[in-house]
Amino acid sequence: MAEDLQRNFRSAYYEKVGFRGVEEKKSLEILLKDNPLDVEKLSTFSQRFPLPSMYRMHVWKVLLGILPPHTDSHPLVARYRQEQYEDVREALKAMRFVHAATPYTELYLRMHQLENQKLMRRSELTQPGEEDEDFLAIARAMEEIVDDPVDCYWLIRCFVNQFNHKFGDSIPHLPKSLEHFLSQEDSRLLAHLKTSGSLVLLPYSLWFRRCFAGSLPESSLQRVWDKVISGSCKILVFIALEILLSYKIMLMGTSRPEAVAKFLSNLPQENTDAIVTKAIDLWHKYCGTPMHSV
């Protein structure tokens, strides 16, 4: 009981202020003044503590390699990024793949395809495939977080590339990992999901391949992406785990797998901050925290 009270107090506190204390904020400010920036320490900080919203985009850009560690070169690199964005966009316009009224998310997809040599001929364009739909889901979520189109594109592009490169081989194994941790937290719920046939129909593709884009509102999603960008895809397992635990009563009350899948694919949006906070606590409980000094 005492542990639950402490956890609830801590969760409520850093939900309210956005980070655990003034000292952590000062530590981050000190890290961001270094030249060159210590990317490993920034990554460690992002895994150990919630990122204050005022610094989030800057930290993401550094961790994703959009900006280099040497801070004195940031203005020049930012200009190069903008010029590349404009060059690729104009090339797509010249090839008539996009036009002035093309939605930004479609523009970002075509730019990504062109830069990755996956752009088909216009005559061969079809409905977006599974990989494209994943990209578009992440793009739509990022568009709600980032106002500037240039920043938005580079964050989407580098986030997707980093995620696929680092974690592409791990994603198929995350459902088994979820099953393992659910057996530790609530074996009765796991047994019900198995016997009802619901376990195999959980929306793993929406949760794991899209990093919960489209499943969580952007205010909650940013805190999940902090952990993914700083180097952990295992956080996705604990978000899924906490979702199952949070809606245990509903899940235990039905034996219809299709109803479970439909509900979990369209989660209520009002309780997601608490779900993410509890999931991060579970992640620290089972996976520990990085030991590098910040």
pLDDT tens digits, 116-149: 999 988 766 777 889 999 999 999 999 999 999 9
Q: Which amino acid is at 39?
A: V
Tokens 């592009």, located at residue: 157
Q: What is the pLDDT of residue 50?
A: 87
- Tell me the whole-structure pTM to 2 decimals: 0.89
For 181-210, write each residue's pLDDT tens digit: 999 999 999 999 999 999 999 999 999 999
The pLDDT, as a whole number, for residue 126 is: 73
List pLDDT tens digits, range 230-286: 999 999 999 999 999 999 999 999 999 999 999 999 999 989 999 999 999 999 999
pLDDT of the residue at 25: 84
pLDDT above 60 (res 294): no
The confidence score (pLDDT) of residue 289 equals 65
In order of their start, the domains of the chain are: 73-167 (1.10.8.680), 169-294 (1.10.472.80)
| 176: amino acid identity, one letter | K
Q: How confident is the model at residue 77 (pLDDT cuts 50, 70, 90)?
A: very high
Residues 210, 189: Cα–Cα separation, whole Å:
25
**pLDDT reported for residue 141:** 98
How high is the mean pLDDT of the chain? 90
pLDDT at 288: 79
240: phi > 0 → left, psi -120 to 50 → alpha, else beta; which? alpha
Q: What is the four-CA torsion angle of 34, 13, 206, 144, rounded to 10 degrees?
A: -60
